[in-house]
Structure 1
Amino acid sequence: MLTYPSIDPVILSIGPVSIHWYGAMYLVGFVGGWWLGRRRAAAPDSGWTAEQIDDLLFYIVLGVVLGGRLGYTLFYGFAGLLNDPLSLFRIWDGGMSFHGGLLGVLFSMWLFGRRYQKRFFQLTDFIAPLIPIGLGAGRLGNFVNGELWGGPGSVPWAMQVSCGRFVELCRDKLQLPPGSEFTPPLHPSQLYEAGLEGLAMFLILWLYSRKPRPAMAVSGLFLISYGVFRFLVEMVRMPDAHIGYLAASNWFTLGQLLTLPMLLVGALLLFLAYKNRTTMD
């Protein structure tokens, strides 16, 4: 059993300006994806220029931030938004939805494709292997913030969390008695997701996309990989206290519900890709 180190979420403060680890992790994801995109664009006959990659980053940032934040408020925190509308802009406090960010990126790719005359799935197949860098970094940001914990577990790497700092976790999610000093050992589900949605997905998609694949195949594999990994981690991850479980069995969550369409669409894209076998150019 381990004890959560309770890392200060602020890297440094200069007067009224504070730099948060959560925001820094997003920066790591964006810069890492941009660098890998530049590498892919430098390959012979890639069909991409360095300037297009720079513009692509701008579109992706807008899609992730706006879509992720709006998606979170609609899927998970709409009541909180009504009580505090300015919370929509406090991204450094956490509260970003992957599913909302995905929809935001898809919309931004549609806009980017119209500007540069690139096909939609040509874009999504290109960026799919770059996204896990940001997903993994974002989950590390969740860990630093001490949010999105898994439920109680007996694995050797389960972590006790201080109730002194994370009052809502102890009171609302775990419903511990007042005066509790620590939680029971919890699954560090943020680290599970960092390893699966970040490292594992990156290796799967990067290696798969190194050879020419039919159009839509890489995008389909991305949706299936994320859907499977997220569904599995949600089995140990505690749901938001104001939403809870969606089934009486206390295991089916909103996160799992939102991954089901991803799995279906991903399987359909892979099927169509290998049925049509149009190689992405």
Structure 2
Amino acid sequence: MAENPSHLALGDLAARQLANATKTPPQMLGITPRWLVHLLPWVPVEAGIYRLNRVKDESQVLTACSQPEDERDLPETFVNYDETPREYYLSAVTTVVDIHSRVSDLYSSPYNQVTEQLRLAIETIKERQEAELLYNPDYGLLNNIAPGQRISTLTGAPTPDDLDELITLVWKEPAFFLAHPKAIAAFGREATRRGVPPPTINMFGSPFLTWRGIPLVPTNKLQIQDGKTQILLLRTGESRRGVVGLYQPGLPGEYGMGLSVKFMGINRKAITSYLISLYCSLAVLVEDAVAVLENVEVGKYHDYKHEYRK
């Protein structure tokens, strides 16, 4: 028996072959707001060197409060400088992006393959930059905190008392706390349990918990190991004798602050190569510009590479 043509219709699967799909650019899970990079003041560095001059012994600077008839007894003094100041050198985060010319020629609509490859590589380098600002063995924040600026939690979980202790160490115009999102969540639970839920403010269109008016800024670059992490408090800016980021302006192939993209040529196999370099460093101008709360218990979760472990 023949099929009734009136009961037949074009199916979805076949119809989709004639339709154009709306495409997104490539999405990457590891991209974050990188708040530390955004909130740090960045100082341009000439020739890649930043010399941090400090007063040698400020206790030797003599002063007196005297009456006019005692002027002959006024102390004479001067301010001495450290003869061997620390010098910071910019370090580079680099990678080489290879793209076959056939791919860029044939498959660059609606998205340019070269542009997307460079964009994603640059995002990855910037994520690594934020981790280096914390953990670099030379200039990383966690490796340049003075012993007297390190404290441990009183109970394991971060409490209002712990953050108050951090404020006593960085009390001169503190800018922001820096913590893993799970540490911020743990603090929020502890503060709420004590009847003092932390207020929320909006910065850059995003909500942030605060304590004593100081925002708690999240970053997943602060690692969680064996269920423990750190919370930092920073003062920032050269004028405030705080923490500053360092970068090199005017780079050849400049693509952003301290970022350079250079075309390296096409080899005999038709592979096009681009060198991406990001030059940066970080300086703590005086010791009390940063303090850290250690042994903050949040549970066994992940480090900045999203490698979950128990």
TM-score using structure 1 length: 0.22
* Larger RCO, structures 1/2 (Cα 8 Å, 6+ apart): 2
The structure with more radius of gyration:
2
Which protein is richer in helix relative to its size? 1
